[in-house]
Amino acid sequence: MEDQIRGIERAALSEIESCTDKKMLETLRIKYLGKKGKLTSLLRGMGALPPADRPRIGNLVNQAKTRLQARFTEALEQYEEAERQRAIANEYTDITLPGRRFWLGRKHPLQQTFDEIREIFFGMGFSVAEGPDVELEAYNFDKLNFPPEHPARDMQDTFYVQDDVILRTHTSPVQARVMEKQHPPVRIIVPGRVYRTDEVDPSHSPVFHQVEGLYVDRRVTMGDLKGVLTEFIHQMFGPTTQLRFRPSFFPFTEPSAEVDMTCIFCQGSGCNVCKQKGWLEILGSGMVDPNVFAAVGYNPEEWTGFAFGMGVERIAMLKYNINDMRLLYTNDLRFLEQF
């Protein structure tokens, strides 16, 4: 019996030596150590031995099994290591391949414009306030002194959600919201989306963006309004840009002024962009109407203020010389990557 065990072990060892690959090795392992393998079968035949011999022989078989198993594992590792070495040797870096382009994101030109506007007003002590896009008619119109029959309230111009709920048509309702909550002085800008039932064309969109401004304190004058807006335009478009304040009308400001600046493309001599006028309309403004103060609970005898509102798309288009507003919404990388 002992001879048999030793014989099997020796045969197995020499067969392992003559193996040439992993597959052969595995077949061999099954042949000797598998369920029906040669050594395993020996263990199964133990019943035929005299009971006194069984522990010793069983022990011998198990020792042989353990040694063989170790040898198989070692041989397997050798094959695997050889395989790894071969793979490494076959691998190489093709330094002539073009590199992979690394796409760097950047801010959308509208966001850049927003950020620039914000920074300029931060510099003058304004802070940012926001309000809801879905707004009560009361804030969008009534508290801002729009009479009940004002044309802007028409379904033609405004998106109605319900009888008294609309998509805000401007950022001015946030003036009323802030003043209702906060005592003067107030010095805010309000960036946000606004909605009007306009058809899409190079200069219109049913959704666009505004930045509102509101300054309320004692003895605020139109001179303050002019000073702040002049400083803003100078920082935004250059210090030689000139401003013109044209009388205008808004229900929530009195007096009101439309602000024009000298055309930044022709310096005022007349070109396509300014339609030969030399001037570009840039924002609406005025002194806060006493009726608005009354509607939000400020005493119009004590407080005065100015407000202004500008279209962000318009500013961006002038600043970056973009001739079609739709370019700002279509997310064409060929366009966006220029900024």
Residues 240-299 that bind ligand PHE (CB under 6 A): 250, 253, 284-286
Nearest residue to ligand PHE, using CB? 309
| Strand-strand pairing, 207-217 and 304-311 | antiparallel
Please tell me whether residue 95 adopts helix, strand or coil conformation: coil
Alpha carbon of residue 158 to chain centroid: 29
Nearer to ligand PHE, 205 or 253 (CB): 253
Interface segment toward ligand PHE; rule CB under 6 A; list 30-38, 46-54, 185-193, 304-312: 304-312
Q: By CB under 6 A, tell whether 158 contacts ligand PHE.
A: no
Q: Residues 276, 270: contact at Cβ < 8 Å?
A: yes
Considering only 141, 143, 308, 317, the residue that binds ligand PHE (CB under 6 A) is 308
Nearer to ligand PHE, 170 or 314 (CB): 170
Site string for ligand PHE, 197-226 (x = CB under 6 A): ---------------x--------------
277-287 b/e (C-beta count within 10 Å ≥ 16 → b) = ebbbbbbbbbb
Considering only 113, 172, 241, 262, the residue that binds ligand PHE (CB under 6 A) is 172
Please tell me whether residue 282 adopts helix, strand or coil conformation: strand
d(CA 233, CA 80): 73
Task: Give every CB contact of residue 273 below 8 A, 6+ residues apart in sequence.
Answer: 263, 265, 266, 280, 318
Nearer to ligand PHE, 37 or 286 (CB): 286
Taking the complex as a whole, the smallest distance from the CB of residue 95 to ligand PHE amounts, in Å, to: 59
d(CA 228, CA 213): 10
Nearer to ligand PHE, 192 or 286 (CB): 286
Alpha carbon of residue 29 to chain centroid: 59
Nearer to ligand PHE, 9 or 212 (CB): 212
Taking the complex as a whole, the smallest distance from the CB of residue 172 to ligand PHE amounts, in Å, to: 4
Residues that bind ligand PHE (CB under 6 A): 170, 172, 212, 250, 253, 284-286, 307-309
